[in-house]
A and B are shown apart, each in its own frame.
Chain A
């Protein structure tokens, strides 16, 4: 067995995500020097754990090679680090971290490879004209956009219709508008009540209220919303130990749903759920969103896809260009109906049992 007993870094992380390095060696051997080398274009060290005072030297060897030399550690047998990966244009990037550990017995060298992944939406088909027939029980859409997530990261999608025909509007379905408004209102009232009972936790609750107000306004995701959601999630994670407060918080949400449940059934919530999840790691952020066409006729839509990943990193919007929409009567069409999401081997994977 060599000197190094364990060396660990995860195999996959999202581009922009941090990752740990754990290095353990035989505690009976004191290293003379440990070197960590990497390409600073793809990754950077944020923190190093267990170095002794003045035990570190950074050597920028070249533009594509940086070496961090550690001369002594505080507690022998372990060295830890936190790396931060960088975004790259590649669908899957590779980060190589090499560890060189020198002792009186010789030199041991190990290289770790961490794959940096991200969601990448490829538009496989972009029609010029889409026909929508609303004379059936469901709107039937001919010639959809075809999208595929060719990356390995989960893609969270939202859509906007920026510069489209002025008669077209986007929002929650009209029959659900009342439900959503009353759930949101009950939720905000309940959060305000809980914030009074737990003034020490009023910050996350008011954050939640402002997130709801954002959602009510129908705006697309922007940096401000992401910042609020991130902050809210961190706050709530830190409060999860206070079970009394968490119970109160969860019951205030459930109460908002139950007090409005007559409008929404178990069946419908399940359908909405299924509409929001697609194979090939695609999630829709708001599957209820519909486009309202006020009358029979021809409209122009200027659709744009907004993509985020599980780190809430935003990617450049994907413009789909202008598309002509022909509608045979007034109707509301869920936005997801304009798309076909292609997954790997989708046709074979999904059971068709009867």
Chain B
């Protein structure tokens, strides 16, 4: 049945069949599980729940036992495996893990009885989410004087497959990482005088120069030190750095719509090499869940830039 579904135009590239990379790996595993169990069970209903954060897939099915002779060998290690009669809550201890395989011993089960089987497996393919979901974060935000708005969305690909193969298919914790650009806001709020003052200090401390130049700079510095920044430069810089810690920066972020806030971190950026001490962007992670009833979600990551700029401005007051 699964092969037949795979031949249908599930995801279409102008009429041609396109299967996203990684999707086949996941369905291949489903085929192996189906093939393993179908000798002993008539599979009546299947469900799949994927936890993106934990990288696990919970495969479960309701099956009618055809025979209790022998055993079912699954060529995967499972982090959890259980079987129970559909009308009972008691799990039957018939699973065994051995040499990278999970073995279900059938002899204590009753033929023609309906059972629920659940297996938790680790997903080793790092790109599996990419193959199941199309997530989109625009590189450039919509922007006004108060906010930067990044519209985000997630859509299940290969819906036809999931719908045909499972009565329940759920993906939890799909992550969407938005690069929130902060450099313009910092640049706009750092007063020119402060920048000049830093340059003078730096120049005096680090650049070899003759006496006349040195004297000129000392005079300039002594004037600048009477400004409100005098002697506070390192404190200001360090307080500014503090704004980029997750605890502080998260207050400038609001997630709207069908996504939820998860985390924020300073963005690594090769443009910053070899001096990556100051972030040009912050990475905001938000998450959502998709299932067959809600195969698409959308939301917005809002960066309250005005508030952020006001707080930077306050450091220089």
Contact = CB atoms under 8 A, between A and B. Distances in A.
Interface of A: 8, 10-14, 17-20, 22, 24, 44-58, 74-75, 78, 80, 82, 117, 136-138, 152-154, 156, 175, 179-180, 183-184, 211-212, 215, 229, 232, 236-241, 253, 257, 264-274, 276-279, 281, 283, 285, 288, 309-311, 349-354
Given A154-B181, A175-B206, A51 B142 contact: no
Nearest to B187: A277
26 contacts: A10-B138, A12-B141, A18-B136, A20-B136, A50-B156, A50-B295, A53-B160, A54-B8, A56-B12, A75-B163, A80-B155, A82-B134, A137-B209, A265-B202, A266-B277, A267-B201, A267-B202, A270-B237, A272-B275, A276-B272, A279-B187, A283-B271, A310-B139, A352-B192, A354-B191, A354-B228
Contacts of A281: 184
Contact of A279 (B18, B184, B193, B217): B184
Contacts of B199: 138, 271
A137 B203 contact: yes
Interface of B: 8-9, 11-15, 18, 53, 55, 126-127, 130, 134, 136, 138-142, 151, 153, 155-157, 159-160, 163, 177, 179, 181, 183-184, 186-193, 195, 198-203, 205-207, 209, 213, 216-217, 227-228, 233-234, 237-238, 268, 270-278, 280, 292, 295-296, 298, 313, 316-317
A152 B199 CA distance: 31
Nearest to B12: A48
Contacts of B313: 351
Nearest to B137: A10
Contact of A239 (B126, B157, B228, B276): B126
Given A20-B134, A80-B296, A152 B8 contact: no
Given A58-B14, A153-B140, A49 B156 contact: yes
B87 to A, nearest CB: 31
Nearest to A264: B275
A237 B213 contact: no
Contact of A53 (B9, B15, B205): B9
Contacts of B280: 276-277, 283
B157 to A, nearest CB: 6
The 3 closest A-B pairs by CB, nearest first: A273-B278, A269-B277, A53-B8
Nearest to B278: A273
B191 A351 contact: yes
Nearest to B295: A78
B316 A350 contact: no
A269 B237 CA distance: 10
B193 A352 contact: yes
B306 to A, nearest CB: 13
Nearest to B202: A267
A19 to B, nearest CB: 6
